[in-house]
Amino acid sequence: MRYCALLFPALLLAQGPYVAEGLRIGEVTDRSAAVRFRLSQQPAQNKGRYQAPKYEGSRPPALPEDQDPWLLPGAVPGLPGRVRIWVATRPDMKDAKPGEWLQAETKNDFVVKTSLTGLRPGRTYYVGAEIHTKPDKALASFTTSPDSKRRVPVKFAAADCFSWLSADDDQGLEIFPAMEKLAPQFAVFLGDSVYYDFDPPLASTTEAARYHWQRLWAMPRPLQFLAKTPVYWMKDDHDTLCDDCWPGKDPDWMKPMTFAEGQRIFLEQTPVEGKTYRTFRWGKGVQIWLLEGRDYRSPNNAPDGPSKTILGAEQKAWLKSTVDQSDADWKIILSPTPWVGPDRSDNTDNHANAAFATEGKELRAWAGGKKNLVVICGDRHWQYHSVDPETGLQEFSAGPASDRSALGSPGEDKRYHRFHRVGGGFLSITVEPAAAGSRLVLRHHDTKGAVVYEASLGG
């Protein structure tokens, strides 16, 4: 990549760096949070909309070798520099305290990641960045989770399948202002935050992959949402490498981009550190598990049997153990792909398919026997509420982030479906304290935020 200062006015560079991609705050607990941001040469992404050359089929062409992705419409050229985060409990930042100075470097794509610790439960914090002067306004805010023994109202959103090609507005996807109106305490993005192999240009290089993130997530609507809402990010196939991928599957048409590089870039672009499967509490009312569905899976085309897995032995043992140990009122497992479905018979990618039938049956039998446990899944481009007829396990699909991405359903199946809709949108989930325990309410929304289905459990 070439970051040539001669291409930009000297005055602009003297004023920079900027934080054009905003702050991405995630991994919030009652005492801590993670922050990811990137220094940029200009205060906003490049103007215009990328125009791909005409192509046939679903696989877009890669960029010419002499094309710099950071010059494309929607890109955010980066810049090295020193920066430190200030954290306050007042929106005017009057009581802000600084963190350590950090260095954004070319080798890390000018990304800086840091952890905020020593926070207090249930407290709202405001975060600013000092590049030249102490910040007088916050770039983002978030609220820490309550103490695990406190039963308080909880509200969060779940969404996935964020295709740039299928975006329904030039300012960003419609679901962002729709979710923002609900004022969720946090959100979970279930996977496919970008589409390396589907949205043009083909992300066959590291720089092209980074461009996918810049182009979509530096748009005004997601920026505004992320400034107010911490997000727990999950990944799936399209934001790792390509459709239905697994470790070791590195098709020639994606090279030099590889599965391993996709794993690394996901951690670079999100606040996530370390293992991508994890769990967190939000008070007494709910504990949430975020699963990793790519890093440990067997090849999709391997023969099914007891050793074939999506989760891997270590993650599966961790999941079962931590669920059994939890005393939360509700236990919600968030999976990038379905457990219940039903799915199309031609798919080979998830636990609702014949390809992983053995582990799927094992997980449904285990989870279906747990009180107050539900599964929320991504990856399916239609919304549904299903109940497994054998075990009673309930699963909710968030659906795709736009109507243009809604497709592929096998159709309504009365044996499973309590609700089925081929349309875009998201899920909102509330946990409401009741006389004894809590009530869980899950609502499917369309892309504009209208409720199209509601399920109330417990209470």
Query: Per residue of the chain (459 residues), what is the pLDDT tens digit?
Result: 333 333 333 333 447 899 999 999 999 999 999 999 999 999 999 999 999 999 999 999 999 999 999 999 999 999 999 999 999 999 999 999 999 999 999 999 999 999 999 999 999 999 999 998 899 899 999 999 999 999 999 999 999 999 999 999 999 999 999 999 999 999 999 999 999 999 999 999 999 999 999 999 999 999 999 999 999 999 999 999 999 999 999 999 999 999 999 999 999 999 999 999 999 999 999 999 999 999 999 999 999 999 999 999 999 999 999 999 999 999 999 999 999 999 999 999 999 999 999 999 999 999 999 999 999 999 999 999 999 999 999 999 999 999 999 999 999 999 999 999 999 999 999 999 988 889 999 999 999 999 999 999 997
pLDDT at residue number 95: 96
| 115, 6: one domain | yes
| b/e map 412-433, b = 16+ CB within 10 Å | eeeebbebbbbbbbbbbbbbbb
Give yes or no for a contact between 112 and 246, defined as CB atoms under 8 angstroms apart. Answer: no
Domain boundary among 144, 163, 194: 144
In angstroms, rounded to a whole number, what is the distance separating the alpha carbons of residues 164 and 75? 13
Written as six digits, the tokens of 321 are: 């153990």
| 130, 166: one domain | no
Domain boundary among 144, 178, 196: 144
In angstroms, rounded to a whole number, what is the distance separating the alpha carbons of residues 454 and 445? 9
What is the reported pTM? 0.95
Domain that holds residue 199: 148-458
Give yes or no for a contact between 452 and 433, defined as CB atoms under 8 angstroms apart. Answer: no
pLDDT at residue number 5: 35
| 311, 391: one domain | yes
Domain boundary among 144, 160, 179: 144
C-alpha distance from residue 59 to each of 162, 165, 192, 217 (Å):
17, 12, 16, 22
- CATH number at 6 reads 2.60.40.380
| 183, 303: one domain | yes
| 129, 238: one domain | no
Question: Amino acid identity, residue 306?
Answer: P
In angstroms, rounded to a whole number, what is the distance separating the alpha carbons of residues 237 and 242? 6
Residue 65 CB coordination number (10 Å): 6
| 102, 216: one domain | no
| 247, 380: one domain | yes
Strands 451-458 vs 140-143: parallel, antiparallel or unpaired: unpaired
| b/e map 319-353, b = 16+ CB within 10 Å | beeebeebebbbbbbbbbbbbbbbbeeebbbbbbb
Task: Kindly state whether residue 403 falls inside one of the protein's structural domains.
Answer: yes
Task: Kindly state whether residue 448 falls inside one of the protein's structural domains.
Answer: yes
| 382, 418: one domain | yes
Task: Kindly state whether residue 101 falls inside one of the protein's structural domains.
Answer: yes
Q: Which of 44, 12, 29 is nearest to 271 (CA)?
A: 29
Task: Kindly state whether residue 59 falls inside one of the protein's structural domains.
Answer: no
Task: Kindly state whether residue 55 falls inside one of the protein's structural domains.
Answer: no
pLDDT at residue number 16: 80
pLDDT at residue number 436: 81
In angstroms, rounded to a whole number, what is the distance separating the alpha carbons of residues 71 and 74? 9
Strands 231-233 vs 186-189: parallel, antiparallel or unpaired: parallel
Domains held by the chain: number: 2
In angstroms, rounded to a whole number, what is the distance separating the alpha carbons of residues 434 and 297? 40
Task: Kindly state whether residue 56 falls inside one of the protein's structural domains.
Answer: no
| 206, 294: one domain | yes
pLDDT at residue number 14: 45
Q: How far is CA 442 from the centre of its chain?
A: 19
